[in-house]
Each structure stands twice: as C-alpha cells, then as structure tokens.
Amino acid sequence: MELRIGVIGIGAMGRDHVDRINNRVNDARVTAISDINQEEGLKYGAEIGAEFISNAEDLIASDEIDGVVITSWDPTHEEYVLEAIKNNKYVFCEKPLSVDSAGCMNIVNAEVEKGERLVQVGFMRRFDRGYEDIKKELDKGQLGEPLLLHCTHRNAEVDSKYDTPMAVENTAVHEVDALRWLLQEDFVQAEVILPKKQTTNTHANLHDPQFMLLQTESGVCIDIEVFVNCKFGYDINCKVVCENGEIGLTNPTYYSIKTENKDYKRVPSDWKERFIEAYDKEFQLWVEGIKQQRITGPSAWDGYMASVTTTALSLARDTGEKTTINFEEMPNLYKQEQFV
C-alpha cells in the first residue's frame, strides 16, 4: 500500500523531502501540500501532482492523508504537531520540535495522553553511516568508556538572517541529539566560550565561531566548534576519545583530484549533500513505522531533551557562566525505545 503524505511548508527543506518521498522512499507519495504562500503552493502542487490545501489544519484533518511532514517555519511546528496528534495522524516534524522546551513538553504530554507514539523528529544524523558505525563500535565496549568528544560543525557561509542564537538552536542542535544518542546519556552542564577574535566574514548580529562545552551525567566532556562562515565547505567532524583508543568520522569520500603537484579531496557543499543518505533512511524508517503502526525514530522526548540542552547552551553563552541543565522525568511511553 502506498501511503499518502501531506507536506506543510514547501521551502528548501520541504521540497527536498518531497523529492525523496516521491523518488527514493518506497511505499509513499506526496499527495497534498500546504504553505502560507498560496500562489507558490498552487504552482508547485501542479508541478508534482499534489493537491494544494491552503489551510494546514485541513490537510492534517483530511481522511486522504496517512502521514504529515512539517517543514514550515520553526514557530509553527508545535501547533501543527499538536493538531496532528489530536487527529491521530503520524507526523514527521523537522527540528526544532518547538521553539522552546515548554512547547516540546506540551507535545510530549499530548502524545502520552494518546498512549502511543505518533511523532518522529528530524534528527537525521542518527541515520548517517559514519555515526551508526561509531555507535556500533562504542556499544561493543572494546574501546572502553568514552572520556572526551571533539566535534566541529562548519558551514561554508550563512545568510544575513542567521544570527548568534541560531548557532546553538539551528546548528549545534544536531550535535546535541546525535551525541546524546551515541553516548546513551543526558547532558547536565553547558558552557559557551566566545573567542576574543571572530572571523571578519561574519556580520554584526552573528558571533562566529562559537565554542560550546557539554558534560554528561557520567562526566564525559564534549567540545563543539560551530563555525558557520568557515568558507571552505560543509565540514562535520566527531572524534570520541575512549580509554583504549579513539574513534571518529572520516570525511566522506566523494572523489579526489590530483593535479599540479597537489592531491585534493572534495568537501561537501552543504547538509543536503552530506546527509542525503541519512535523510532518505530516516524517511524510509518513518514510512515503515506508519505501516506497522510503530514509530521508532527520534521521539518527541528526544526533541524535548534537545530543547532543554540548547536552551542551557544559549543561557550559558548570554551569561558567560556554566549552566546546569534541568529536565523532567522521562514518561514510560519513551522508555522502551530510548536510544534505539
């Protein structure tokens, strides 16, 4: 059976997901879309053979939709996810689940009240081959306990709308989720150090780069460099230093060029290229989950934990102080699938 998917928000990410659902994911097709921009929505709907429904709530409530994808503006996510839960609809929500942890908790509470998981959050790094392999090796235990993690998240450049808070909330949020999943434990302390000298390639509203420090419950220490105007490409690194060795991502090898006494390796240009396989896999898992009525991908609880952590990082950056990360007790609904 081919699932009928409705996509709300057809900007860059929405269109990318439409393309993967229609062309690379099995057993699903985008049959309806919604966007605040009606003219663009009608045009794009006609292009991909999907109905344009101007009111997102009508798309969510439609009997002809089996699953909803939310790729609209961040502040709309909570409202649409809650609407999907109310209508007993499976929903894939791009990160962030909500703009704050109270909003994430509203979603967790609504799902707990329903008594079943309907929500999957777009933390695609868990589906990246490199991260998956690191997790498998750590889980085997031969490397011993992880002690330290060194991570970098670099973009070639960002536009003028990208500001200082976004380095935590839109960028480091991916490390926050992936590292919590890798280590299978929560973070308890956050700190952010702003280098005295920032890049001349930034603008007045963006402090770039930023250096973030996290500590887990068991005392693993993590540093994350976020540098979003690094100029040379999209560069994601993660090294885990353990008692008996070190394990880390290698740069994905697309191709190398030897010329003029130099040996070049290509660096991905952006996240779409770097994580294309991971995005495809996260959607395939979501579709399988709907078919089996059992969602196992990143949960609303993971969305909440990412939010409490990024909130603490933002506070730490703004105050210049180490910040304790406080969170609620995990409801039973999420215990079984925790860190799958």
Q: Binding residues for ligand NAP, per CB under 6 A?
A: 8-14, 34-37, 56, 71-74, 76, 94-95, 122, 124, 170, 271
Q: Cα Rg for the chain, rounded, in angstroms?
A: 20
Closest CA to 308 of 219, 166, 146, 177: 177
SS3 248: strand
Pick 97 or 118: Cβ nearer ligand NAP: 97
Whether omega for the bond prior to residue 252 falls within 30 degrees of 0, making it cis, is: no
Nearest distance in Å: CB 94, ligand NAP: 4
Nearest distance in Å: CB 21, ligand NAP: 15
CB burial string 303-316: b at 16+ within 10 A, e below: bbbbbbbbbbbbbb
Nearest distance in Å: CB 152, ligand NAP: 16
| DSSP per-residue codes, 257-318 | EEETTEEEEPPPSSHHHHTHHHHHHHHHHHHHHHHHT---SS-HHHHHHHHHHHHHHHHHHH
Pick 103 or 146: Cβ nearer ligand NAP: 103
Pick 72 or 210: Cβ nearer ligand NAP: 72
Pick 69 or 242: Cβ nearer ligand NAP: 69
Q: Quick one: residue 206, left, alpha or beta (phi over 0 = left, psi -120 to 50 = alpha)?
A: beta
Nearest distance in Å: CB 7, ligand NAP: 10
Structure token digits, residue 54: 């101007």
- One-letter amino acid of 196: K
SS3 82: helix
Nearest distance in Å: CB 301, ligand NAP: 18
Pick 43 or 322: Cβ nearer ligand NAP: 43
Pick 289 or 303: Cβ nearer ligand NAP: 303
Cα–Cα dist 11/112, whole Å: 31
Structure token digits, residue 276: 């294309």
Closest CA to 102 of 321, 307, 333, 316: 307
Pick 36 or 48: Cβ nearer ligand NAP: 36
Pick 12 or 340: Cβ nearer ligand NAP: 12
Q: Please list, in sequence order, all residues whose beta carbon lies within 8 angstroms of the beta carbon of residue 319, skipping any fewer than 6 positions away.
A: none
The residue number whose beta carbon is nearest to ligand NAP equals 11
Q: Please list, in sequence order, all residues whose beta carbon lies within 8 angstroms of the beta carbon of residue 109, skipping any fewer than 6 positions away.
A: none
Nearest distance in Å: CB 119, ligand NAP: 14
DSSP state of 168: I
Structure token digits, residue 160: 């003028």
CA 134 from chain centre, in angstroms, equals 18
Nearest distance in Å: CB 313, ligand NAP: 16
Nearest distance in Å: CB 37, ligand NAP: 4
Nearest distance in Å: CB 123, ligand NAP: 7
Pick 8 or 68: Cβ nearer ligand NAP: 8
